Structure formats: structure tokens, C-alpha cells
Structure 1
Amino acid sequence: MSSMAGNNLISNVPAIKVWVEHRMVYLELSDGRILGFPADRFKLLKAASDSQLQEVTLELKGYSIRWENLDEDLTVQGILEGRFQLPMEPST
């Protein structure tokens, strides 16, 4: 399965690692790419404490990430496609 975003082909690849640093969520994909996004782009994650954000796990063979304590699930494909709930906040 794949989709088009702009001129780039985005393949549905699983993550092999997930971690959080300074409210940024990072994914290492099985094809070697590493991507990150601000936790504050999602409503539940924005309201979460730093320690709650640290409790992230990979699910569904790396196609989903989950915060059990927040009851929040995100798909890796959705993140790759830039499907965020909230806009970027301007830097100060």
C-alpha cells in the first residue's frame, strides 16, 4: 500500500523504534529513515505530562504507536502523511 503526498511517494513502512525527547516524538522506520514530530500536534499528547509522553510503545508490528496511559493511538502512515490534529505553533 502506498499513497502520494505532493511529489513524494510515501510507502506504508513500519517503525522499529519510538522514543520521546523534549516533547518531540521520534520514529525510526524499517527502511532507515528517522522522523520526528512535536507531541503538541495532537490534542491528548499536548495535554500530557513529559513523563506520560515517555510511556510510548510500538503496536501492530510497528504500524502504530500507543500511549496506554493516555488511551492514544497514532498510525505511522498518518504521521508520514502529515495528518496532525493541531497546527504548528509559532516559535517564540
Structure 2
Amino acid sequence: MNPHHIVQNLSFDQENMILSVDGSTYSIPISQASKRLSQATEAERKLYQISPSGYGIHWLAIDEDLSIDGLIRLANSLPVQNASRF
């Protein structure tokens, strides 16, 4: 079974989630992606697992699940100054 998405990298800066997936990179405001992530500590944000199917990301410490498709849709729907695609 081929994964739905290939996540190359996931990192955070002060206000954004930087997601590199399928050869594209998206910068998404954490506060718009997830209330739980926005309230999480840096250590909690770093403790995640990509689903083997490539459909989503699970943060163990805060019990949060986000779909890759949903994050990409969010990034593409935000005004240019709020999200970027590299």
C-alpha cells in the first residue's frame, strides 16, 4: 500500500507549523490549525507520529489528530500574509 501523502518534515516556529509534504512546504498559523496545538508546549508539539497511511498526524501528549488533506486545504485557503507555500 502506497502512502496517501509523504511528509518530509514537520516543525514549528513561534506562531507557525511548517509542513513539508509531497514536495511542497506550507507555513500554517498554529492557532488556526488547532486550539490544542496552540496551547501545547514546544515539547508536546514535537511528540507526534505520522500515520503509516500518510493520511494524518497524531500528537501523543495532547491527543490531537489532524489530517494532511485538511492542513493543506487550510494553508491554501488562508490569505497570503497568513500562510505561505514555498
Aligned amino acid, residue 36 of structure 1: S
Contact 1:18 1:56 in 2 (8 A): no
Q: Which residue of structure 2 lines up, in the alignment, with residue 20 of structure 1?
A: 11
Deviation string 1:29-81 (CA, Å, 9 cap, x unpaired) is 22x11112122221111110111111122114221011011100000111111
Larger Rg computed on CA atoms? 1
Deviation string 1:7-28 (CA, Å, 9 cap, x unpaired) is xxxxxx5132232232422222
The list of structure 1 runs, each at least 4 consecutive aligned residues, that deviate by more than 6 angstroms after superposition, is none
- TM-score between the two structures when normalised by the length of structure 2: 0.67
The size of the alignment, in residue pairs, is 71
Structure having the higher strand fraction is: 1
Q: Which residue of structure 2 lines up, in the alignment, with residue 35 of structure 1?
A: 26
Aligned partners of 1:61 and 1:27: how far apart in 2? 17
Stretches of structure 1 that go unaligned for 5 or more consecutive residues are 1-12, 84-89
Which one scores higher on RCO, CA 8 angstroms, separation ≥ 6? 2
Helix, strand or coil for the counterpart of 2:74? coil
> Identity rate of aligned residues, in percent?
21
Stretches of structure 2 that go unaligned for 5 or more consecutive residues are 76-81
